[in-house]
Amino acid sequence: MKRYVYINDNESSHELYCDNRISNRKYTVLNFLPKNLWEQFSRFMNQYFLLIACLQLWSLITPVNPASTWGPLIFIFAVSASKEAWDDYNRYLSDKKANEKLVWVVRQGIRKHIQAQDIHVGNIVWLRENDEVPCDLVLIGTSDPQGLCYVETAALDGETDLKTRVIPSACMGIDFELLHKIKGVIECPNPDKDITRFDANLRLFPPFIDNDVCPLTIKNTILQSCYLRNTEWACGVAVYTGNETKLGMSRGIPEPKLTAMDAMIDKLTGAIFVFQIVVVMVLGIAGNVWKDTEARKQWYVQYPIEGPWYELLVIPLRFELLCSIMIPISIKVSLDLVKSLYAKFIDWDTEMIDYETGIPSHATNTAISEDLGQVEYIMTDKTGTLTENRMIFRRCCISGVFYGNESGDALKDTKLLNAVAGSSPDVVQFLTVMAICNTVVPIKSKTGAISYKAQSQDEDALVNAAAQLHMVYANKTANILEIRFNGSVIKYEVLEILEFTSDRKRMSVVVKDCQNGKIVLLSKGADEAILPYAYVGQQTRTFIEAVEQYAQLGLRTLCLACRELREDEYQEWSLLFKEASSTLVDREWRIAEVCQRLEHDFEVLGVTAIEDRLQDGVPETIETLRKAGINFWMLTGDKQNTAIQIALSCNFISPEPKGQLLLIDGKTEDEVCRSLERVLLTMRITSSEPKDVAFVVDGWALEIALKHYRKAFTELAILSRTAICCRVTPSQKAQLVELLKSCDYRTLAIGDGGNDVRMIQQADIGVGISGREGLQAARAADYSIGKFRFLKRLILVHGRYSYNRTAFLSQYSFYKSLVICFIQIFFSFISGVSGTSLFNSVSLMAYNVFYTSVPVLVSVLDKDLSEGTVMQHPQILFYCQAGRFTVSLPFLAFFPLLYNRASESEYICWMVWSIFVPCNCCVCDHHTCLCLREK
Amino acid sequence: MDTDRERHRARETAFYLFTQQSLPACKPVLTPGWVIAIFLFMGVIFIPVGLVTLRASHCVVEIVDRYDIDCVPEPSRMDKVSYIQDDSIPKNCSRFMKVHKYMKAPIYIYYQLDNYYQNHRRYVKSRSDKQLLDGQKYHDTSYCQPVESNNNRPIVPCGLIAWSLFNDTFEFIREGAELKVNRKNIAWKSDRGHKFGKNVYPFNFQNGTLIGGGKLNPEIPLSDQEDLIVWMRTSALPSFRKLYGRIEEDLDVDDVVVVNLMNNYNTYSFGGKKKLVLSTSSWLGGKNDFLGHACVFVGCSSLTLAIIFVLLHALWRHELFTLEQEKLFRVIRTRSTYI
């Protein structure tokens, strides 16, 4: 399962791996027609219409001109086929553009300008500043003497900040000219779509270096579709090309989502089909009986005594064709049309434009708008979704002293400022950790001002706060960090970075103080990842109190810690770390294990508290939507206390007397089980009381509950209108959505970050907030909005109207088809059950298209209630949500419907006949009359 | 220029309003006042219209005479089919029709057939419109099955409909003098002009072993064979009337019209009825009470509803008008649109 990439070897890899031709096309010119037709005919409705159209070619049984079915059928197919073809053609054009772009590639030791599609695995590709990366490359050289380069990965993950990439240590210092001739082998896994991992090894061949294996990580790669920034040039070895790049692998179309209404329409179609078969059989038998008893006496019909062998089938088949109009062929086209209009209405809505950033709302998925009106559960992320994700450093606790408690802003606390001015060692150490324990890149502008490029908002807040407290992280050149504090410059050499993962919940750096040569481990992380590992004897009680106090205020807390390392301890560990870093299997787990060996016996320095303000209008939105009968679940990676605090401040849960919070916790299975049962019991008792009961569960207990007590937890999920799940991982978020979906609820997931993508894709409707954590969520979502408060309008206005309109339209489509069909059926009883069509082909087509389909499309503009009324009385949404329950048994709803249609047709027939039968006589002189014309 | 720009702006705003789903719209709220007014209005409109229609219908004088049984001589009544199929027996028959009310010319003569399925699929499809227009020049007569050719030569007009042409004839005598019957212009003008060829003459018609209905004069083009044209406009229902001709003299009360008819057409084998109808017409056409009754009925029920609503409204006025209730009504109304 590995691939070996030989650098600069032009022959060997050509057959093994594909070239760099990107192809997003679904079809080719040759297979377009068969493939597209095959896809369209995989739908039951289309198969049905094709069968009908084929039967109509048999002139003995067709009641109407075959053109009246073939015409619309071909039209519908042509429309969807040309839409597909157009999309595919556009994809082809953009592929072509990317494929034919010229890039510099080394061929036979000389740099050449070739088309991007001719790059092969193992080729060395040269890039200039602001070039787009044509395929996945392993860096081997840059213009920077330290081997750094910066890339913008917006196209990959939507994050607009620059990321640093570094050449592997083995390639360090290779001469510019020699890079053309470099030889070696890269051992890397087969292509996958994980853009955060690349576990590979590099070995260069002599004369470049002795046969030493050098580990490669994602930091040593630049991936397809990124842009090279702030770097004069860079070159790299192509490892994955064409559709096998990380981006290419992660492309691919997700399963199309089906709305409740679509499912309903399919069910209804099925039911009508069954009914139709019954009608056909009854009429077929009646027709054959009538033929044998009556029609043979009617000399003017001249029935032959002996018919062909299929004679018995002829009349039923005729009725099948007559009744085929029962299933409206127009419904799919009309619905597609109006649905795309709903989507456009969302795009156009000026009230859903985020004026701060100018981002309008956007409906990526045009097919599911009516589901918005049926949402029952909303699963929301906290950070960046309910809050602004604009982190501000507010308070801190350094060695037991609380700063910022009075003013609410530690940066203005004179106590702290004095401590900084007096260079109190605890404070200085604390600020040092704040300033350098991170992966922030300082960028100096021409005016000398320093700005920071940070991947996480927390780090950004900490570095900025440290700078304001005169601990300025000034420069980073290769591994040397430069810090200015009170006029002096301190330099540190970064030895290792132990990166943050959501499992470890902390990150650390190992630095060497350039002044005294001491090696120090600096760590920051969640309280439960730091405080238990404090050295024996340190009093952590104040810190625990501080964490609690801050969490009560809804602040995000981080604990900072450090430990001095002995030289030999570090060296020993460093080898282990290096080994772990170069493993190909389970690298992340191995690294975590090795990190654990270093991250203990901390000296805890203090606690920081960062504020993340609520977005505008969040409490109102939640209140309104809850009135509309929508249940809210908060799924967050944050701490329990912070989550509860935020939940309280945004009306998510009510404070004590009115609301009640039930806790599910426990470390072992038994504890979780007991706690779950207790909560369930309380929930059952209080479910009748008008009390807001919510349960809180953390990731650990959730894991156990989902694994072992799924049934109990499901019951709890159904009983509870509100839930807060904290410390949950992305996959747990998705699991929770899955759980609610399996209970047949319509779920909507809303989030803003990469960790919400799975939940967004899992939910019936995914909404992404195009926020500060990049566009990853917004891109994966069905709808993207700028702010949480637009959700109210999205559901109550757009969702509700779309639902009503689609409901009306689909019901109407069935209605009009049934009406005309029943007229035909009634007519058959007075035309000798012989299968005569009352309408000629043109009238029938005109009825289906011009009289009943086109004018009714105007209903997309229909608003049953004004927007203001709906917003004021969100309870009205109950009807939309209930809509699907009343019809979940199609027959209950279907038969009254049929009965109505039947009686209606009866009235119509009766009226028409009563008027025309007597006046049939005077046709020829004064009046038109009901006359039968065939064909 | 200015108006152009204004128009452009207007269009732009209209599009903007459309995108915001806020195009001006009216939403009639069915308040009691409105409902009462609408029902009242409907009552006021429909009752007079119904009465006028009824009156027109009543002015029409209609005499109907069923002759299919009476025209079979007593001894043959046991086996009417063999009587009608026996060519050697003369089929003439006399009927007396008494005019009970003054009939103003023109008086329309119809024959009415009951239980005759001109709308049967086999029957209705058995014709060739192209041949009727183009004659033998048009060769494809497959639509005309089973009466398409005889002795390997095409039949014009082909098909079951033409083959089963109605062939009873009627003569009218009043007080010894024959009443003139106008048999021109009884078919649709469009049929005569555009559907039946002016140069198409009957050919090889009713020459086979099985003879259905009437024969056609091969000297007269199809566009002038109005009996055929009327017959070929098939009826949608199993009992129908077809125009035979017009009497262009007034008939007085107590006039007795003697009808000498040739009872040729076989309806006995399938139990059909044959009737002769004399009818005048009004501005609304023939005798048809249904339209008038329907209008009067709708008008009366609207009026009744209006009165009931007025009473209800007077009794519960102050309660009906609360905002909450109106909202409730709206919701209930909305409710009906869900699948």
Interval B226-253: pLDDT, tens: 999 999 988 888 888 899 999 999 999 8
Three state DSSP letters for B196-256: CCCCCCCECCCCCCCCCCCCCCCCCCHHHCHHHHHHHCCECCCCEEEEEEEECCCECCCCE
Residues 6 or more apart whose CB falls under 8 angstroms from that of A668 comprise A704
Q: Catalytic residue at A95?
A: no
Q: Residue A438 has what DSSP assignment?
A: S
Dist. CA A287–CA A290, nearest whole Å: 5
CATH architecture of the domain with residue range A393-569+596-613: 3-Layer(aba) Sandwich (3.40)
Query: pLDDT confidence of A929, banded at 50, 70, 90?
Result: very low
Give every CB contact of residue A84 below 8 A, 6+ residues apart in sequence.
Answer: A26, A27, A36
Q: Can you tell me the ipTM of this complex? A: 0.86
CA B26 → CA A319, A598, B19, B136, distances in Å? 44, 74, 18, 62
pLDDT tens sequence across A851-870 = 888 888 888 888 877 888 88
Which among A348, A834, A923 is the nearest to B122, CB-wise?
A: A834
Looking up tokens 């089929």, which residue turns up? B91
- Chain segment A788-799, per-residue pLDDT in tens: 999 999 999 999
Closest partner residue to B334 (CB to CB) among A836, A879, A932 is A879
- Show the beta-strand stretches assigned E in A421-479: 441-444, 450-453, 471-477
Give the pTM. 0.76
CA–CA distance, A337 with A367 (Å, rounded to integer): 10
Alpha-carbon torsion angle A868, A874, A879, A883, nearest 10: 100
Q: Which long-range contacts (CB under 8 A, 24 or more apart) does A847-856 make?
A: A847/A816, A847/A820, A848/A72, A848/A325, A848/A328, A848/A329, A848/A330, A848/A816, A848/A817, A849/A72, A849/A330, A852/A330, A852/A812, A852/A816, A853/A330, A853/A333, A853/A334, A853/A813, A856/A334, A856/A809, A856/A812
Strand partners, A473: A483
Instruction: Report residue B82 CA to chain centroid gap.
Output: 33
- If pLDDT is split at 50, 70 and 90, which confidence band does A502 have? low
Say what the alpha-carbon torsion angle A253, A258, A262, A266 is, to the nearest 10 degrees: 80
Which percentage of chain A shows pLDDT scores above 90?
7
pLDDT at A890: 37
CB A773 within 8 A of CB A754: yes
Could you report how far apart the first and last alpha carbons of chain A are, in Å?
67
What phi, psi does B107 have (nearest 5°)? -105, 125
Domain segments of chain A as ranges:
2-13+119-251, 354-387+617-791, 393-569+596-613
Judge whether residue A887 has pLDDT over 50.
no
Interface of B with A in 49-78 (CB under 8 A): none
Question: Counting runs of H as helices and runs of E as strands, what totals does chain A give?
Answer: 30, 33
- In this predicted structure, the answer to whether residue B269 has a pLDDT above a threshold of 50 is yes
Q: Which of A381, A458, A692, A698 is catalytic?
A: A381
Contact between A786 and A354 under an 8 Å Cβ cutoff? The reply is: yes
Phi, psi (rounded to 5 degrees) for B251 = -115, 135
Superfamily for A354-387+617-791? HAD superfamily/HAD-like (3.40.50.1000)
How far apart (Å, rounded) are the C-alpha atoms in residues B58 and B288? 8
Mean pLDDT of all residues in B79-83: 86
Spatial strand order of the sheet with B169-174 comes to: B92-98, B256-262, B169-174, B177-178
Helices (H) and strands (E) in chain B, counts: 10, 11
Hey, are the CB atoms on B118 and A932 less than 8 Å from each other? Answer: yes
Q: Check A261 against B286: CB less than 8 A apart.
A: no
- Of A108, A156, A148, A111, the C-alpha closest to A233 is A148
3-class DSSP state of A155: helix
A773 against A371, higher pLDDT: A371
Q: What is the pLDDT of residues A374-394, one digit of tens each?
A: 898 999 988 788 888 778 888
Q: How far is CA A888 from CA A630, A862, A879, in A?
A: 20, 26, 14
Q: Chain A residue with minimal CA distance to B226?
A: A924
Residue of A266, A921, A930 best to disrupt the B interface, most CBs of B under 10 A = A921
Mean of the pLDDT values across residues A395-409?
Answer: 84
- Taking the CA of residue A458 and the nearest CA in chain B, the distance in Å comes to 39
Q: Report the candidate in A529, A544, A528, A461 with the shortest Cα–Cα distance to residue A498.
A: A529
Q: CA of A119, closest CA in chain B: separation in Å?
A: 47
Note the pLDDT tens digit of each residue in B149-170. Answer: 888 888 888 889 999 999 899 9
Q: In Å, how far are A267, A457, A598 from A523, measured between CA atoms?
A: 58, 17, 11
Is 80 exceeded by the pLDDT of residue B317? no
Flag if A922 and B281 touch (Cβ within 8 Å). yes
Q: Which residues of A carry a binding-site annotation?
A: 381-383, 459, 500, 524, 556, 636-638, 727, 733, 752, 755-756
- Decide if A496 contacts A581 (C-beta within 8 A): no
Q: What percent of chain A has pLDDT over 70?
A: 90
Chain B CB contacts of A804 under 8 Å are 334, 337-338
Q: How confident is the model at residue A930 (pLDDT cuts 50, 70, 90)?
A: very low
Query: Does A292 contact B at CB distance below 8 Å?
Result: no
Burial (0-12, 13-18, 19+ Cβ within 10 Å), A489:
exposed
CA dist., res. B268 & res. A300, Å (int): 12
Q: Where are the alpha helices (DSSP H) in A137-259?
A: 154-157, 246-250
Tokens of B187: 């078919």
How far apart, in whole angstroms, are the C-alpha atoms of residue A463 and residue A453? 10
Question: Exposure of A406 by Cβ count < 10 A (0-12 exposed, 13-18 middle, 19+ buried)?
Answer: exposed
- Give the DSSP H or E segment for A105: strand A102-107
User: Which two three-digit tokens encode residue A859?
Assistant: 């209903």
Residue of B166, B143, B141 lying closest to B155 (CA atoms): B141
Architecture of domain A2-13+119-251: Distorted Sandwich (2.70)
By residue count, chain A amounts to 935
- Residue A743: HSE in the Cβ half-sphere, 13 Å Cα cutoff: 19
Name the CA radius of gyration of chain B, rounded.
Answer: 30
* CA gap A714, A894 in Å, rounded: 32
* pLDDT above 90 (res B43): yes
pLDDT tens track for A140-169:
888 877 777 888 776 666 555 667 788 887
* Residue B113: its H or E element: strand B107-114
